[in-house]
């Protein structure tokens, strides 16, 4: 391990060692931060807003009956519980680009976990250089996740982030070579842990010991990219467009509604309730939208340029999900900007619909 000077502490900084940590709010990152706090180390938490967090999306939807616990920012909540400052960083377009074209590929769904970890740890390293700090830590556990937490992946992540020796994983530290903070005595390696594998027994024991009980369930449960339904829609988009032409809006829209692929260049999104209607209204600009007239109706948003036969099909799908789905013919408005057309169509049969569903 390197013994070169690796951080330049800004003049006037306190002598206290400062660690910059990625805090998702999950149990592992919370325990990692707590292990360092127990050693008197100052902790600055970072929490990334990726655009794919389910809690952030629920908050944006603002459904009145939603459980407030499922809408909160877990990173901020964990920071409050630990008494450490948290900075929320917008992962922005760069993250979106990475998600569409990850160097190390996808996991089982649409989750580019290795590239995601590299992105975030790289960002933490930059934050450390800009704002001062001595090392970066994460709650990663050796062998816990098949894609991003086996030994080779942990080594790769550290190497690609360009902070060799300055990335501490307190929960698995004793299985890994000593880092600079350990070698220099900033952190007592003996008081770090040797957790390995998927069992969470040891984490539970530590959370009991420290009275940590408020945390979300593990295993990527907050990330749309690891969700099966989302992944199906995501890979459909990638199949039908070159990554560089896919817009951020298209990714955001994958999170709402029922999705149907009608042709290689046309797909639709049918809202499932009032909140989704309101959400889709924000994306009307430049897009066709359909709505049954004189009745409760979902908004149907169109991606692409539908010809006349497809417009009829979209109208009959919209009619199928309207309150007049039991009637033989339903009037449906098709609008784009100032252009409006009224179509009289039968609601589509469910068997026909299945062929298009994503
Ligand atoms: S599950 Fe999502 S947030 Fe977590 S590492 Fe994978 S891509 Fe990133």
Q: What is the pLDDT of residues 253-262, one digit of tens each?
A: 999 999 999 9
The mean pLDDT of 1-22, rounded to a whole number, is 60
Mutate to test the pocket of ligand 1, among 223, 227, 251 (most ligand atoms within 8 A of CB): 223
pLDDT band at 15 (very low <50, low <70, confident <90, very high): confident
pLDDT band at 127 (very low <50, low <70, confident <90, very high): very high
Instruction: Provide the pLDDT for residue 7.
Output: 45
Shared-domain flag, residues 158 and 219: yes
Q: What is the pLDDT of residues 197-212, one digit of tens each?
A: 999 999 999 999 999 9
Tell me the Cα Rg of the chain. Answer: 24
Parent domain of 332? 256-354
Instruction: Provide the pLDDT for residue 245.
Output: 93
CATH code: domain of residue 123: 3.40.50.620
Nearest to 26 by CA among 79, 91, 86, 101: 79
The mean pLDDT of 155-166, rounded to a whole number, is 92
Backbone angles phi, psi at 240, to 5 degrees: -105, 5
What does 18-56 look like in DSSP terms, one character per residue? EEEEE--SSHHHHHHHHHHHTTT-EEEEEEEE-S-BHHH
Mutate to test the pocket of ligand 1, among 57, 95, 111 (most ligand atoms within 8 A of CB): 111
The answer on pLDDT for 9 being more than 50 is no
Residue 82 domain-assigned (yes or no): yes
Atom of ligand 1 nearest to the CA of 223: 2
Percent of the chain predicted with pLDDT > 90 = 86
Q: What is the pLDDT of residues 205-254, one digit of tens each?
A: 999 999 999 888 765 468 999 999 999 999 999 999 998 999 989 999 99
Shared-domain flag, residues 185 and 289: no
The answer on pLDDT for 358 being more than 50 is yes
Cα–Cα dist 328/21, whole Å: 60
Shared-domain flag, residues 204 and 268: no
Residue 247 domain-assigned (yes or no): no
Instruction: Provide the pLDDT for residue 218.
Output: 64
For residue 299, is it left (φ>0), alpha (ψ between -120 and 50) or beta? beta
Residue 250 domain-assigned (yes or no): no
Shared-domain flag, residues 145 and 273: no
Shared-domain flag, residues 197 and 86: yes
Shared-domain flag, residues 146 and 284: no
The mean pLDDT of 343-347, rounded to a whole number, is 98
- Record the tokens describing residue 123, joined without a space: 């960002």
Residue 12 domain-assigned (yes or no): no
Residue 244 domain-assigned (yes or no): no
Q: At how many degrees (to 10) do helices 74-82 and 27-37 cross?
A: 30
Please check whether residue 5 is in contact with residue 184, taking contact to mean a CB–CB distance below 8 angstroms. no
Shared-domain flag, residues 172 and 215: yes
Shared-domain flag, residues 205 and 163: yes
**H-state helical runs in 106-247:** 113-131, 151-161, 180-183, 201-210, 228-240
Instruction: Indicate whether residue 287 lines ligand 1 (CB < 6 A).
Output: no
Shared-domain flag, residues 185 and 102: yes
What does 166-186 look like in DSSP terms, one character per residue? -EE-TTTGGGSPPPHHHHTTS
Residue 41 domain-assigned (yes or no): yes
Shared-domain flag, residues 146 and 64: yes
Shared-domain flag, residues 137 and 208: yes
List of residues 6+ apart from 219 with CB closer than 8 A: 145, 226
Please check whether residue 44 is in contact with residue 18, taking contact to mean a CB–CB distance below 8 angstroms. yes
Instruction: Provide the pLDDT for residue 221.
Output: 63
pLDDT band at 149 (very low <50, low <70, confident <90, very high): confident
The answer on pLDDT for 27 being more than 60 is yes
DSSP one-letter code for 348: P
Shared-domain flag, residues 97 and 160: yes
Domain end point (choices 224, 241, 268): 224
The mean pLDDT of 316-341, rounded to a whole number, is 97
Instruction: Provide the pLDDT for residue 225.
Output: 96
Please check whether residue 134 is in contact with residue 18, taking contact to mean a CB–CB distance below 8 angstroms. yes
Please check whether residue 56 is in contact with residue 197, taking contact to mean a CB–CB distance below 8 angstroms. no
Residue 345 parent element (H or E): strand 339-345
Instruction: Provide the pLDDT for residue 139.
Output: 97
The answer on pLDDT for 129 being more than 80 is yes
Residue 239 domain-assigned (yes or no): no
Q: Return mean pLDDT, the chain.
A: 93
pLDDT band at 148 (very low <50, low <70, confident <90, very high): confident
Instruction: Indicate whether residue 113 lines ligand 1 (CB < 6 A).
Output: yes
Instruction: Indicate whether residue 86 lines ligand 1 (CB < 6 A).
Output: no
Atom of ligand 1 nearest to the CA of 120: 8
Atom of ligand 1 nearest to the CA of 107: 6
Backbone angles phi, psi at 102, to 5 degrees: -75, 135
Number of domains the chain is built from? 2
pLDDT band at 11 (very low <50, low <70, confident <90, very high): very low
Residue 59 domain-assigned (yes or no): yes
Instruction: Provide the pLDDT for residue 62.
Output: 85
Q: Which residue has the tokens 């020796």?
A: 165
User: What is the three-class DSSP state of 200?
Assistant: coil
Distance 341 CA to ligand 1 centre (A): 43
């Amino acid at each position: 391990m390197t013994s070169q000077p690796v951080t330049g502490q800004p003049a006037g900084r306190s002598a206290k060692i400062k660690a910059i940590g990625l805090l998702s709010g999950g149990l592992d990152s919370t325990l990692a931060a707590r292990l360092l706090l127990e050693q008197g180390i100052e902790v600055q938490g970072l929490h990334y807003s990726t655009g794919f967090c389910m809690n952030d999306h629920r908050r944006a939807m603002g459904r009145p009956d939603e459980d407030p616990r499922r809408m909160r920012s877990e990173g901020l909540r964990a920071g409050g519980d630990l008494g450490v400052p948290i900075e929320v960083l917008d992962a922005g377009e760069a993250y979106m680009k990475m998600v569409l074209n990850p160097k190390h590929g996808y996991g089982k769904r649409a989750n580019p976990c290795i590239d995601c970890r590299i992105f975030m740890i790289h960002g933490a390293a930059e934050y450390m250089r800009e704002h001062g700090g001595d090392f970066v830590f994460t709650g990663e556990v050796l062998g816990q996740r098949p894609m991003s937490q086996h030994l080779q992946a942990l080594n790769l992540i550290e190497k690609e982030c360009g902070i060799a020796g300055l990335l501490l994983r307190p929960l698995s530290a004793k299985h890994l070579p000593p880092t600079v903070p350990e070698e220099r005595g900033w952190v007592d390696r003996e008081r770090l842990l040797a957790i390995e594998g998927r069992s969470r027994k040891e984490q539970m024991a530590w959370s009991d010991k420290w009275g940590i009980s408020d945390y979300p369930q593990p295993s990527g449960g907050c990330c749309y990219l690891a969700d099966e339904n989302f992944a199906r829609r995501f890979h459909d988009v990638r199949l039908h467009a070159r990554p560089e032409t896919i817009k951020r809006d298209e990714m955001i829209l994958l999170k709402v509604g029922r999705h149907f692929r009608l042709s290689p260049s046309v797909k639709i999104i049918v809202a499932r309730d009032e909140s989704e209607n309101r959400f889709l209204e924000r994306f009307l600009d430049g897009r066709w939208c359909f709505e049954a007239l004189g009745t409760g109706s979902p908004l149907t948003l169109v991606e692409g340029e539908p010809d006349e036969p497809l417009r009829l099909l979209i109208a009959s799908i919209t009619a199928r999900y309207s309150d007049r789905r039991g009637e033989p013919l339903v009037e449906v408005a098709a609008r784009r900007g100032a252009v409006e057309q009224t179509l009289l169509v039968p609601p589509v049969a469910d068997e026909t619909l299945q062929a298009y569903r994503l």
